[in-house]
Structure 1
């Protein structure tokens, strides 16, 4: 068996970013930009007011104060979207709304709060400098300026910026389409009540949710029974997708036909078996450019292996540079027994105290107890060189379902080894 770190390295060395596709900008949210974007014009395209107020010549009110106000004649009112019709001359001002263009002749805006009166003549109670409260043309972007580079993960502000340069479509890295293939005579779908030795196909739904959470597209294929021909047919169907996740049938049981079917389909096996708990029987290989993950059948093992290996692969395929789970350093809340010579990923709850995070196991760590993973905030990495992590000892915890939790660090590291560049 290989180590967990070696397995991750092999996976990432054998997947690559997919090609680009052109999508409406709203579909680009959270996607990786696949092109360089330059501004098609100056933004804003004209000098405009940053405040509701009056466009004035700064020299006309240079001596204005509350004790000695200066009166100016109002020649027009200019709203946002309107073009001024009059030039502002000496002793004149134009009432100007936020975002409205600055009338010719004016060189400053004075906010309405620094004036008195509302008719054709207004008193100005303060002086302003030239350029005050004016947003100049091109303040945000200049014609031809680089707006954003390929590789950026698009945020809501990015979508607005792209729209501002008149782009309705944008090129992004294509999202992987992922086939989920569950195998086993014992499996029934979620709307069927299991009888006898049957179990609900929960792993497929957990995987589909995890795939979507990673920004990829998930399709659950029909369950393949423990029949060599049916398994081969289902896996052949899966080969029309960008990545394949199969569950069950990867150990050495009498009815484990997945290996033979994948061999027939031309899979280049890169490893089978990882020195970790849970998920030791994990298999990985490729058919062409397509990564194939033979995940263990137990639901916890299935999902843990997805988080550790398949999720980083899918993120890399989608153009992401940082692909691991975010992580924090936590203190063990109790003594935690772990398996020697295996990297053990312990399901833990995290709490904060004055000194940081405290990690406590969610209960029994059996690989069939999916609720223990549902209750977990993260996976504590139990080093392969230890058998017990004592209470108060520090450990690394991989965060599950975390959106940049305060204290988390960028997750481009291996589990027990050195930082890896990806």
Structure 2
């Protein structure tokens, strides 16, 4: 791609080199301690191990009667001596011919090794029961059967979900070491734009900013909207420099290509930014790029809606994943689907195609949408996208991998 005013080309890198550059340059921001109750969806920054076995002793897995299995060889009649609940402290050893009522989760009386469910017993007179046929050690959860002491219960680099947070609370871990969450911002660039709340005659609302703002919010990031900047080198540079004082990564929308008014790359260069890459050998995300300035990052996104959304998911999300302390593709989600109609890429470079997803019987079915980088209606209808290599054809009924535009896109599709 040749820049008209400066007679230079936009160097298009294959995705493999783009991803290599991101992996090489983007590192986590550091760590911090947060209260465990506030750690939901944060990224864990150290391995946490079980402080004791779960369960900590043999417990009943059912409501029933605990007894010594060997006593069945003498008699099926047992004397019920006591009732045991999860809060009961067990000190007495069970004797021959005795049984104890146990609630689910209760410790077994010392010496007991089997639990007969209530429905496997017949209540007799004088606190006695008869136990029917049962296998040895049935309905018993052994000490450490679920989690063993010293086992990793939460791994560094993993997102803290409700279950893992609950387990941290169970072990009395009051504060958790997590990776710092990147602060993000969005800046729209274009003489034709105005703020959503400040309508100007002859101007367009910067609605595409709300695509990026809300994708970031969906991913759980704090985000600032830096509004609109005109297509002027110095103004762009000034706002970018100011924005990077408040955020770790800034997403610019527009002015990224090689047109006469595409000033964003030059503005970043004037700030002594270093480009990890600028130009991707994939349509329609060719003008996308990432620049680094004083340990902060600027992600350049094109202003056409399809190009913008695909650039965000292909290029920006890996940057956010690595900054957050995650693996490269941790924030991405994909599903397997059957292709409803063929996709033929006759270009000399790879191409991304938006698809809709529907469920037919037990399969997800992907249908490619009409090609066009500026079709907002396609963005609105699509649930995901697929990469098709140069001169490659995906045939009808092929099984393909669809990368989702967020895990939420499956809501209403899967049931």
Q: How does 1:27-46 map to 2 (within 5 A)?
A: 27-46=38-57
Aligned pair 1:211/2:216, yes or no? yes
Number of matched pairs: 396
Where structure 2 has 5 or more consecutive residues not aligned to the other structure, the ranges are: 1-10, 411-415
Contact 1:2 1:274 in 2 (8 A): yes
Instruction: Return closer, same or farther for 1:55/1:17 CA change in 2, 3 Å cut-off.
Output: same
Structure 2 residue aligned with 1:347 = 354
Structural mapping, 1:9-408, within 5 Å: 9-64=20-75, 69-72=76-79, 74-84=80-90, 87-117=93-123, 120-126=126-132, 131-191=137-197, 196-240=201-245, 241-323=247-329, 326=334, 328=336, 331=339, 333=341, 336=344, 338=345, 340-351=347-358, 359-363=366-370, 365-385=371-391, 389=393, 392=396, 398-401=402-405, 403=407
Query: Following the alignment from structure 1 to structure 2, what is the Cα–Cα distance between the partners of residues 131 and 354?
Result: 42
Contact 1:151–1:320 (CA under 8 A) maintained in structure 2: yes
Looking at structure 1, the residues matched to 64 and 243 of structure 2 have their Cα atoms a distance apart, in angstroms, of: 64
Pair 1:198–1:393, CA change in 2 (3 A): farther
Any conservation in 2 of the 1:75–1:86 contact (CA below 8 Å)?
A: no
CA distance in 1, matches of 2:341, 2:135: 62
Q: CA deviation at 1:394?
A: 5.3
Check conservation: 1:325, 1:399, Cα contact below 8 A.
Answer: yes
Shift of 1:268: 0.8
TM-score using structure 2 length: 0.81
What are the superposed Cα offsets for residues 77-132 of structure 1, whole Å, 9 maximum, x if unpaired?
A: 22221224755334433222111222335443222222222775122232556644
Q: Is the 8 A contact 1:187 1:199 kept in 2?
A: yes
Shift of 1:313: 1.6
For the 8 Å contact 1:61–1:124, the answer to whether it is kept is: no
CA pair 334-195 structure 1, distance change in 2 beyond 3 A: farther
**Cα drift, residue 13 of structure 1:** 2.6
SS for the counterpart of 1:113 is helix
Q: In structure 1, how many angstroms separate the alpha carbons of the residues matched to 2:28 and 2:184?
A: 14
- Between the aligned partners of 1:321 and 1:40, the Cα distance in structure 2 is 27
- The offset of 1:393, in angstroms, is 8.6
Q: In structure 2, do the counterparts of structure 1 residues 50 and 287 end up closer, same or farther at CA, with 3 Å as the change threshold?
A: same
RMSD over aligned Cα atoms: 3.4
CA drift of 1:29 comes to 4.2
Distance apart, 1:58 and its partner CA:
3.0
**Which consecutive residues of structure 1, in runs of 5 or more, have no partner in the other structure?**
407-422
Aligned 8 A contact 2:333 2:407 in 1: no
TM-score (norm 1): 0.80
| In structure 2, distance between residues paired with 1:140 and 1:2 | 52
